[in-house]
């Protein structure tokens, strides 16, 4: 068995897959009004702090992806002003599993995934959700790219998905009172 690098944690994805990630490998994108009120560098540092908390303070080796994102959300909520951002909204955010959308797309790959993603976003915006969380980005990208390991094609596809979500939010919602967390 290969030993896990000391600076890594195993992230358990919703599919059950375990992915080793270091603090620098965690990709978090904030969209909507939360992105305007929080600096992206600040969000990156917050994610690294949450990583450190699980790794060193709790001495954990495996963390569920949902557990990590909830902890990060709690940290970010503590640094936001309820009057200026939607992260302080007491209603529970809706969690969108990107891996589920890839499975639903089947053999259609990107051709069916992107319309399904837009449909999911529309549905949630129609329910007046103020915070959407899209999780499983890394696994989703690897599955769409047909890659076993992270590669340049994966990075490009990851950026395309995030840009697509930004574009959809602008086109569909046009609203600044919706925040999205993509991880």
Lowest-pLDDT range of 124-128, 132-136, 149-153: 124-128
Q: Inform me whether the pLDDT recorded for 97 exceeds 80.
A: yes
Identify the sign of the CA torsion 128, 99, 47, 153. Answer: negative
Give the phi and the psi of residue 81 in degrees, each rounded to 5: -95, 120
What mean pLDDT comes out for the span 58-66? 86
Query: How many other CB atoms are there within 10 angstroms of residue 63's CB atom?
Result: 20
Predicted TM-score (pTM) of the model is: 0.56
Compute the mean pLDDT over every residue in the chain, rounded to the nearest whole number.
Answer: 79
Distances (CA, A) of 58 to 61, 101, 112: 9, 33, 41
* pLDDT score recorded for residue 84: 45
Domain ranges across the chain: 8-182
* pLDDT score recorded for residue 157: 95
HEC secondary structure over 74-114: HHHHHCCCCCCCHHHCCCCCEEEEHHHHHHHHHHHCHHHHH
Give 2-47 pLDDT, tens digit per residue: 556 678 888 887 778 888 888 877 766 555 555 556 667 777 888 8
């Amino acid at each position: 068995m290969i030993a896990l690098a000391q600076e890594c944690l195993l992230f358990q994805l919703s599919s059950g897959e375990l992915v080793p990630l270091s603090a620098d490998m965690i990709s978090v994108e904030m969209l909507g009004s939360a992105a305007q009120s929080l600096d992206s560098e600040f969000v990156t540092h917050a994610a690294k702090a949450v990583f450190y908390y699980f790794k060193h303070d709790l001495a954990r080796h495996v963390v569920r992806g949902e557990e990590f994102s909830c902890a990060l959300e709690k940290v970010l909520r503590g640094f936001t002003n309820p009057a200026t951002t939607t992260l302080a909204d007491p209603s529970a955010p809706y969690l969108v599993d990107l891996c589920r959308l890839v499975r639903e797309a089947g053999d259609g790959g990107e051709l069916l995934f992107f319309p399904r993603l837009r449909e999911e976003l529309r549905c949630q915006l129609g329910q007046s959700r103020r915070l959407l969380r899209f999780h499983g980005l890394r696994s989703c990208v690897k599955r769409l790219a047909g890659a076993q390991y992270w590669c340049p094609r994966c990075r490009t596809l990851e950026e395309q998905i995030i840009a697509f979500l930004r574009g959809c939010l602008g086109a569909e919602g046009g609203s600044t009172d919706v925040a999205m967390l993509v991880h």
